[in-house]
Structure formats: C-alpha cells, structure tokens
Amino acid sequence: MAPIPEKNSDWSSLFRANGSIPGWMQYGTYVLWALLFVGWWALFRPAVMPSFGDIIGSFEPLVKRHNLIGNWLSTVGLSLEAMAWSCLIATIISYLAVIPLFRPIAYAISKMRYMSFVGFAFLFMVALREPALIRVSLLIYGIVPFLVTSMTAIILSRDQMMFRYARTLNLSEARVVWHVLVRGVASDMLEAIRQNLAIAFVMIVTVEAKIRQGGGLGMLLYDVETRRADYAEVFAIQILIFATAIGFDVLIMLANRWLFPYAFLQRERSA
Amino acid sequence: MSYQRTDTLLLRVNDLVFGYEPGKPVLYNLDWEIRDLIHPDQVTGQIVCLLGSSGSGKSTLLNLLAGHLRPRYGTVEVMGHASKQLTTTLKGEVGVVYQNYALFEHLTVYQNLVLGARQGAVQRDWKEPLRSWFSRKAREASPFHQAAVAMAREFGLEQQLSQYPAQLSGGQRQRVAIAQQLLFQRQILILDEPFSGLDHLAKMRAIQAIQTAAHLSESNTLIIITHDIEAAVRVGDTICLLGPNEGEDPGASIRLTVDLAAKGLSSKVHHDDPALVASVVKEVEAFFESLAG
C-alpha cells in the first residue's frame, strides 16, 4: 500500500489561498526567497549599497578598532535588563486590568504607545542622572505600553466559560485566577513578549545613540553613519542587531515550546 | 422492571423569573421539580433531559442552576438546600459539562481528574498535593490518585492519562469532562448539548458514557440539556420540555414532562424497542410543533 502523504505536496498547493503544504516544501520557499534576494542584491543593488564582500570584510575593523564585541555585549545586557523590567511591570499592570477599578490605568498606559520618548529624554536625565538608569528607564517607557496592550488583550479576552467551569469545580477565587488567568494564558503571554521584542530592538538603537555613556551597538551605528558614512559597516552592525534579535526570538519560542507544550498542541490542532 | 419515584426532592425551581434586559424575561414563572428515582434491586442514577429549541433559554437555565446567574425572582433548591429568595445556589453544588467539554488545557488528563477528586474531598489536606508531587509512592497511595485511575478505567481512558486535552478526540474529551465532574462527587451534573455535532456512532458512544456516569452511583442525577429529541428519548428517564409560555405571558417555562420510566423507556434499559422509542419521539415532536404553531 502506498504511504499516505501527511499533507498535500502537490505544487499547485503553493499557490492556493490558505494552502497546506509539507514542512520541507515550506522551508524550500524560505530558501527560494532568500536566494532571489541574494541574487537581486548581487546583480541589481543600487550603487550606494555595499556588496556582500564589503559587508563581511567590514566586521574585522569593527571588531579590532571599534570594540564591536564589547558594544554588542552592552546592547545584549541592556536589552535583557530592560525587557525583564518591562515584562514584570507590564504583567502587573495587565493583571490589575482584571479589576474594574484599575482597568483605566492599563488602558491609559496602553495608549501611551502613541507617545514617543524623544523629547522626554531630558526629563529622564534630570530626574535620574545615572546614565545606565536613564537608558533602562527610557526603554521601559517605550516597551511597557506595547506589552500592556498585548497582555491586557490576552487576559481580558479569556472566555467567560472558563471562569464558570473553574467555579463549578469549587475552586477558590485565587485558584480560579491561577488556573484560568495565569497558567491558562502563560504561553500566550510569552508569545506576546516574543512579538514585542522587536519594539525593544528598534528602540534600543535610538536610546544608545541618545545616551552614549555605556556604549552599545546603537551608539556605534550612529557614529559609523554620521561620522564615517561607511555603509558596509552600517550594514554589518544592522545585520548583527538583526541576528541578535532573531536569536532572542528563537530562544523565547523554544522556551515557550519547552515550558508549555500543551499550548502548541492546541495551536497545531486548530491549524 | 419497577421504578419508584420517591419524595426526595433533588431539585426544585420555584416561580423563577430571569431576563437579561428589563421587561424581556427569558424565563418566566418557571416551576420545575426533579424527584429521586429508585430501583429496589439495582444501582441506578437518574437521567433527566431538558429539551428546547435554540434560543428557548436552556443555557440560561443551566447557568441559573449552576449558580452563575442570579434569578430576578424565585428560588432554586438543590438537594434540599434552598437558596435564599433572589439569590443564587451555592457555586460548585451543581456540576456542569460544557458544550465544548471545558478542561484545563495546561493539565494532563490525570491531573484534571485528580483535581476533580481533590476538589470533591470533604476534608482537605493541603500537604497531600505536595507529598504527591515529590513522592511517587505517596501519589499512588493517595485516595485521589486511586479515584482518578478508577474513574479513568470506568470510562476507558487509561491510555490517555498522560495526554493533554488537546491530544484527545472529541469523544475522549467529553468522557474526561464527565469523569472529572463525577469525581467531585456531586449529585447533580448538567451536560450542555452533549450530542451537538456528533455523528450517529459518536452519539451512541456519548449515550453510553452518560449512562455509565448515571449508573455509577445511586445518587447520581444527570440533567442533559439538548435539542435532540431522539437522543433524549434514548438516554433519559424523564424528558422535560422548555417552551414559550401560553397566552400573553412572556418568556419560557417547562411545558411538558414525559415520564419515560413509566412508559418502560428507562435509561437503565437498553432501548431495543424501536417502535416505542419512535412513538415517544413522535409525541414529543408533536408537542414541539404545537408550541411552534
């Protein structure tokens, strides 16, 4: 008997709306688009853009003369610290939103994602003085509203039926919250953190460029762009930031899969 | 087989009024009683089917019985414990298996069942979960472990104990949800639309699971909320029909009660008399149509 294909490996599925294709075929599409991009870059890139060789070659002077590794470590440390504090603060605010009295605070902070910290940096400097503290605080100011928006949406969209179900088991209110709102959404919360990690990396460059004490890739990028206008180095730093962020992204996804396997079973089933 | 209705009141709903909007009651002047049904020679639970068309207020009545909603007027008595006028029944007194078979997705089948058993314990020992967590020996000696494993065996779920709910089929999930509620050891368990969206074979399996649940203990009473008349006739001892009130009265109330046990169609008996089943189905359908007309 011929083996039953797991998913439709027919080529026409590649072009069908919401088509389902096997994993090898899906990975193949990534490789295809990557090759097309590399080909376009090699053959048709605008003159202002550096070649791959120039970009790779620029890593050596960046490491030797501009302390790329030290700056990278500084950026990683700052992003980890800011994300840890932001997650803690956003989680507290989001869970407070369950109580109607505190809900306006969560909504107000959520709306603050429309307010850039540019312009407020001076206030932070005056209030905090310590450069490291100013950097972390600015990042928290920038990240928390995005995290609160995602986390509050997850918590408040929890099905009312799950609360009723938990209460039919005569669980205390604390245990209802624990099972329905904490353990029940933990995987979604981690996923929200993963998705909002991008905001942290977009902001970190701006913050490091603005508050230069302590170095970092943002400061280095600003210097390379404005003082030397070396676009091979700019691209090299951008690629390093991109790779670091993707690394974090993958690590959080793997941690989520390891910590909450049931959530992925649910998603795979509903897919 | 002789069945007897006793004077023991399991559930009494008295003059119940409920609506979501002022002046638009969903349920109005609803009176309903469920009395114990016994068989002198056998262990038998009781299955009461509450029939009603979509939007008739079945789910609202479920939430009122389970204590999730408060009646605007009237009382609900569960197992002789009268709720105060205009108050809800005690939460947790009535078990509910929801339509989508709600379970804690982050717990395995075993953990879900043990949770049900622990919550049903009269006396709680807060150290027991810790002991069970750290020591396999303590876990296996725990009465909750033993009850959970025995219940899993009863419902054919031994192979699924280590699985998460997301790994189960719809039928398995339904059985876990029923088993969890039964482990709580409550006498009234409501099942919301257990036959909804099931094919014939799955429906027969669901009927079997419900009958297993009802007859595990003399004191088990299952209220099945459904709009499937044939399944209700096949599984129930009593059928109650929720329908719109007569005349000018708004809302719905219990309009018809059919004592299937008295007609020789009891949940304990395998319904192998298709003519009798068909005639009762016809009778209920005719009443349904008269309400719609």
The tens digit of pLDDT for each residue in B17-49 reads 999 988 888 898 888 988 887 776 666 788 899
Q: Which amino acid is at A99?
A: I
d(CA B199, CA B214): 22
* Length, in residues, of chain A: 271
Nearest beta carbon to residue B164 from set A168, A184, A265? A265
| Both structure tokens of B172 | 């398995």
**pLDDT tens, B179-195?**
898 888 777 889 998 88
Q: Cβ of A259 under 8 Å from any chain B Cβ?
A: no
Q: How many CB pairs under 8 A join A and B?
A: 58
Closest C-alpha among A143, A108, A119 to residue A210 = A119
Antiparallel, parallel or unpaired: β B46-51 and B221-226? parallel
- Per DSSP (E only), the strands in chain B are 4-18, 27-38, 46-51, 73-78, 81-82, 94-97, 188-192, 221-226, 238-244, 252-259
B101–chain A nearest CA distance, Å: 10
pLDDT at B91 > cutoff 60: no
* Cβ-Cβ contacts under 8 Å for B291 (sequence gap 6 or more): B241, B243, B244, B255
B102–chain A nearest CA distance, Å: 7
**pLDDT tens, B211-244?**
888 888 777 888 999 988 888 888 888 889 998 8
**pLDDT tens, A51-105?**
888 999 999 999 999 999 999 999 999 999 999 999 999 999 999 998 899 999 9
| Residue contact A262–B91, C-beta within 8 A | no
B177–chain A nearest CA distance, Å: 10
- The predicted structure's pLDDT at residue B85: 40
* Cβ(A188)–Cβ(A154) below 8 Å: yes
**pLDDT tens, B42-70?**
667 888 999 988 888 888 998 888 888 88
Between the alpha carbon of residue B196 and those of residues A21, B56, B173, the distances in Å are 32, 16, 14
pLDDT at B112 > cutoff 50: yes
State the pLDDT confidence band at B127, using cuts at 50, 70 and 90: confident
Highest mean pLDDT among A41-45, A107-111, B99-103, B276-280: A107-111
DSSP assigned state of B225: E
B144: Cα separation from own chain's centroid = 22
- The predicted structure's pLDDT at residue A176: 92
Nearest 5°: phi and psi at A187? -65, -40
- The predicted structure's pLDDT at residue B22: 85
d(CA A39, CA A52): 11
| Both structure tokens of A17 | 């709306």
- The predicted structure's pLDDT at residue B270: 54
Judging contacts by C-beta atoms under 8 Å, the chain A residues touching residue B94 are 168
| Residue contact B91–A168, C-beta within 8 A | yes
pLDDT at B99 > cutoff 60: yes
- The predicted structure's pLDDT at residue B267: 62
State the pLDDT confidence band at B2, using cuts at 50, 70 and 90: low
Residues of B with CB under 8 A from a CB of A: 63, 66-68, 91-92, 94-96, 98, 100, 102, 104-106, 115-116, 119, 164-167, 180-181, 184
B235–chain A nearest CA distance, Å: 24
- The predicted structure's pLDDT at residue A3: 54
B245–chain A nearest CA distance, Å: 29
| Residue contact A169–B184, C-beta within 8 A | yes
Tens digit of pLDDT at every position of chain A (271 positions): 455 555 666 778 888 888 888 888 999 999 999 999 999 988 888 888 898 889 999 999 999 999 999 999 999 999 999 999 999 999 999 999 988 999 999 999 999 988 887 778 788 888 888 889 999 999 999 999 999 999 999 999 998 889 989 988 888 889 999 999 999 999 999 999 999 988 888 888 889 988 888 889 999 999 988 888 888 999 999 999 999 999 999 999 999 999 999 988 877 776 6
- The predicted structure's pLDDT at residue B84: 46
- The predicted structure's pLDDT at residue B199: 82
d(CA A175, CA A76): 37
- Whether the CA torsion B131, B134, B140, B141 is positive or negative: it is negative
Closest C-alpha among B17, B13, B45 to residue B31 = B13
Q: Strands across the sheet with B73-78, in order? A: B81-82, B73-78, B4-18, B27-38, B252-259, B238-244, B46-51, B221-226, B188-192, B94-97
* Cβ-Cβ contacts under 8 Å for A158 (sequence gap 6 or more): A180, A181, A184, A185
Q: Which amino acid is at B107?
A: L
Antiparallel, parallel or unpaired: β B4-18 and B27-38? antiparallel
* Cβ(A134)–Cβ(A124) below 8 Å: yes
d(CA B54, CA B167): 30
| Residue contact A164–B166, C-beta within 8 A | no
Say what the pTM is.
Answer: 0.80
> Could you report how far apart the first and last alpha carbons of chain A are, in Å?
28
| Residue contact B106–A183, C-beta within 8 A | yes
- The predicted structure's pLDDT at residue B43: 67
- The predicted structure's pLDDT at residue A7: 60
Best residue in B59, B64, B91, B105 to probe A by mutation, most A CBs within 10 Å? B105
- The predicted structure's pLDDT at residue A59: 93
pLDDT at B89 > cutoff 60: no
